[in-house]
Chain A
Amino acid sequence: MLDNNRGHIVGINGNMITVRFDTFVTQNEVAFAIIGDKKLKCEVIRVNGNKADLQVFESTSGLKINDVIEFTDNLLSVELGPGLLTMVYDGLQNPLDNLAEESGFFLERGVYMQPLDRETKWEFTPTAKKDDKIKAGDYVGHVPEGIYTHYISFPFSAQGNWTITEIAESGEYTLDDIIGKAENEKGEVLEIKMVQNWPVKIPINAYKEKYLPEDTLITQQRIIDTFFPVAVGGTFCTPGPFGAGKTVLQHAISQHAQTDIVVIAACGERAGEVVEILKEFPHLEDPRTGKTLMERSIIICNTSSMPVAAREASVYTAVTMAEYYRQMGLNTLLLADSTSRWAQALREMSGRLEEIPGEEGFPAYLESLIAGFYERAGLVKLNNGESGSVTIGGSVSPAGGNFEEPVTQATLKVVGAFLGLSRERAEARRFPSIHPLDSWSKYNSIAAPEALETARKTLQRGNEVNQMMKVVGEEGTSIDDFMIYLKSEFIDSVYLQQNTFDSVDGATNEKRQKHMFDKVMNILKTEMKFEDKDSVRKFFMELRQLYIDWNYAKMGSNEFKELEQSIDRKLKESTNA
């Protein structure tokens, strides 16, 4: 690598600069624009002759023609190692808490800090031995990181087969300490540290194979797990207009999903919403571990007023970290809010590059980039035979709430589950506002397929009756149809709707969901005898009240049991009326 591979600015247009370079450049390599005593991070995004276009991750204000650019020959990368959990980073992996200590209220440009702490000593236990054959992704040892055993992998970038020549003894080491050495057939020597760099736009693929995702990822949201399930290692998207509840839903999933690690990518949306996570997670208990939610989380935060180019990088930074923990045999969940902002960042840059635009000004390669991103999810078989997974859920913010737009459409082509949020349901306060008729999932539900089919049919028929009733009135509707309508409203209000902000109703575990769904199905199947509509309506209102109260009761409590009995008694009334 050249020490001083340099170039000079020949053009500036917003956050894009054009640079004439002296020797060579690599596509996607990092460079720095020198301005006074500051260096502004950039990335090469197009090369043409002896000129390169770079996107600058900072404000370009004050840069001049002929200013110096230093190329680094390194692709845009993140640091991977123990200490990532609980961290809050910007899109380029700058630790925001440390930045705050350094620069105060504002994100001053050109200030970059080491993502992982170099002072901390980690309790390393080697598992590889001298003379062991080793390759990329094999473990050399482990350290405890909070609630998990953090496996130290042989560098993912190492090509071919290596032999361990030295390995450190158990003990405390910092990230910069060399904990081992390896040699390959060519006699090259590789020093092993507990930290390694990885280029964010390239998937980590140091595993044996990808499996088809099968198990349901329990999110504890009834409408998802039962009706539109997400699989461990699968992908899903939550498009919806503003105010439909995308962010609240993602926050709920980030809290309640039964997964080991959650990586949250707050991508180009409100800063205030991340602040809620930052302030709450350290105090919320994760029932699975008894520790705080923060201890299983990494937050990547590149909100709407932060530099746009770094927003584009942020989703890749996030998914790389999720892949890293997958390598340890953990199940990780990446939630990105919102992928549309990432796509818009691409669109802005594509416009500056004067590329031929596709639909709505988005670049023609939008679809393949979106596909490539979701492709990084997956359930994999690791080198040691264990499995690990990355599940990706992205919210989509379609212009005008219209799903027929490029980002939503490109996303729908590649994801395994579509949870479409509807403005109508949100306005009717039917939360989570996932549309029960429009949404779909290719994954396995926790409920039996036949039961699910019956429930779906009821929802569909109920909707038809409701539409009809709007024309012919209640008077013109038969009591049987009316009963179907009430049954569909019943499933909606007691099962699909869920009070996110209630400590009991907000999260329904698998066991409880199955139990409750059986109960609902039982009600649907019951042949009811009613004389007139007023009495059916009254019956369902009362049943609904009992059921909602039941939703709020802790499973196993006396109240829970009593309410369940009341529901059963109430149901009997309907058959011998």
Chain B
Amino acid sequence: MRKVYHKIIQVAGNVITVEAENVAYNDLAEVTSKRGVSLAQVIRLQDNKVYLQVFAGSRGVSTNDEVRFLGKPMQISSSDNLLGRVFNGAGRPRDNRPEITEDLIEIGGPSVNPAKRIIPQRMVRTGIPMIDVFNSLVVSQKIPIFSVAGEPYNDLLARIAMQAEVDIIILGGMGLKYDDYLYFKNTLDEHGALSRSLMFIHTAADPIVECLLVPDVSLAVAESYALEGKDVLVLMTDMTNYSDALKEIAITMEQIPSNRGYPGDLYSQLAARYEKAVDFDDAGSITILAATTMPGDDVTHPVPDNTGYITEGQFYLKNGRIEPFGSLSRLKQQVNDKTRKDHRVIMDTMVRLYADYKSTCEKQSMGFQMTNWDNKLLKYGEMFESRMMDLSVNIPLEEALDLGWKTLAECFDKTETGIKTDFIKEFWPENA
């Protein structure tokens, strides 16, 4: 390793500048300051000036401090020994156990050749009717939970992770509250899943630059496991914190903002990460479930907006429930014709009637007269909410479909549901 040290000539935001030669773009350096040693990455080269983004932040960095270039870009171990461990965004252990340096791989690798992708078709069963019945989750899907802060999105992530039959779970925490981190850890422990999990955790108290590394290290490790044939589930929470970190860095770098201060490449940055989701032919897969909190419950905010353009749908969590409107699984049609033949019928009919229920509610609130039909809808809507939408419901898909028929039969006559006759004959419960 080279032992050349360089003097810092400028400090701005989390970026320091040194004069050095023969430095490669994206390479790492070590910055030694009073606060200890931090990694830093080359983000710009200009003649003999090298701009470095300091992972631990520039606070306390002095012009006397020394910078040593490592001659390599950011790497992370992809060893199986990572399992059961907890790291920070820079890949350093957070659990007081030894560092792992074997099987190093680079982060942020090239994208998968579209010609080598396959059409996803394996359903992930979650036991949550709003997902399994109405917006099925599919292996290799990338899908966020859109929610306002305060909704139980982390609980939902953890629950899906526990229910999904995957080989490995990787949790990428960004700006995570310490309590939430402990919650994830305990949940994995309770379900005996710790030994097939690993975590890259950046908490709200950690340096912002490390937040930016979390998706890359998580996905690089996921990719190497997937190439070995493992089905990997990556949980990323909260991607809005990640985007805000991008915004902060962009502003200190004096980049021209595009929309509400976010950098113009927010879309490309998010896409580069989400597109790592993949189902490899003859190997494993990466499924990405993320949390995206929406400031002010506003889907048009740049973070959810750019996310929605990238991901394969979204689960819209509101008032502790997954809303049927605003939620979408763009991959559901790949799988929901291969489950049970009444799956799509129940999906379409129940949502349509729930929409009718919603307009009846509106009419009711305007003080218009309730007809017989309106009253049926009111009964149905409440049942739908408690039997299907309530997040405490945890039943297999088939049971949920049966419950769907039962609910319809309890509320309506056969002919009122608009269901094709052959399905009524086969599935309508007679003794309801």
Contact = CB atoms under 8 A, between A and B. Distances in A.
Interface of A: 9-13, 18, 59-66, 88, 96-97, 99-100, 103-109, 241-243, 268-272, 274-276, 278-279, 301, 303-306, 308, 341, 344-345, 347-348, 351, 357, 360-362, 397, 399-402, 427-428, 473-475, 501
Contact of B302 (A109, A272, A399): A399
21 contacts: A9-B45, A11-B44, A12-B25, A13-B44, A65-B21, A65-B22, A104-B116, A106-B109, A107-B110, A242-B309, A243-B308, A268-B267, A268-B268, A270-B275, A278-B114, A278-B115, A304-B310, A306-B111, A344-B267, A362-B258, A399-B305
A357 B264 CA distance: 11
B42 to A, nearest CB: 8
A106 B115 CA distance: 10
A270 B271 CA distance: 8
B244 interface: no
Nearest to A16: B44
A100 B259 CA distance: 37
Nearest to A99: B113
Contacts of B302: 399-400
B264 A242 contact: no
B59 interface: no
A401 B300 contact: yes
Given A344-B264, A475-B368, A60 B114 contact: no
B45 A106 contact: no
Nearest to B418: A545
Interface string B305-323: 1101110110000000000
Given A13-B45, A60-B26, A473-B363, 8 more contacts: A13-B46, A59-B108, A105-B116, A107-B110, A305-B276, A361-B257, A361-B264, A401-B300
B370 to A, nearest CB: 12
A88 B115 CA distance: 8
A229 to B, nearest CB: 28
B25 A348 contact: no
A305 B255 contact: no
B49 to A, nearest CB: 9
List of 6 A-B pairs having minimum Cβ-Cβ separation, nearest first = A400-B300, A304-B271, A305-B275, A361-B258, A242-B308, A305-B111
A522 B259 CA distance: 50
Contacts of B116: 100, 104-105
Contact of B113 (A96, A357, A473): A96
Given A61-B25, A427-B325, A473-B366, A348 B115 contact: no
A303 B272 CA distance: 10
B376 to A, nearest CB: 16
Interface of B: 21-27, 44-48, 73, 108-120, 227, 255-259, 263-265, 267-268, 271-272, 275-276, 280, 300-302, 305-306, 308-310, 312-313, 325-326, 328, 330-331, 333, 355, 363, 366, 368-369
Nearest to A279: B119
Contacts of B313: 243
A209 B112 CA distance: 43
A540 to B, nearest CB: 15
B264 A347 contact: yes
A106 B276 CA distance: 11
Given A12-B44, A361-B264, A64 B112 contact: no
B21 A272 contact: no
Most buried by B among A104, A109, A243, A279: A243
A142 to B, nearest CB: 30
Given A105-B227, A107-B110, A275 B48 contact: no
Contact of A276 (B45, B119, B258, B309): B119
Nearest to A301: B114
A449 B305 CA distance: 39
Given A271-B275, A427-B325, A473-B368, A303 B45 contact: no
Contacts of A108: 110
A360 B25 contact: no
A195 B340 CA distance: 53
A47 to B, nearest CB: 18
A65 B264 contact: no
A270 B112 CA distance: 12
Contacts of B119: 272, 275-276, 279
Given A104-B116, A107-B110, A351 B255 contact: yes
Given A109-B110, A308-B265, A400-B305, A11 B300 contact: no
Contact of B112 (A18, A106, A348): A106
Contact of A12 (B45, B300, B301, B325): B45
Contact of B24 (A11, A64, A105, A361): A64
Contact of A348 (B23, B265, B330): B265
A105 B112 contact: yes
B268 A344 contact: yes
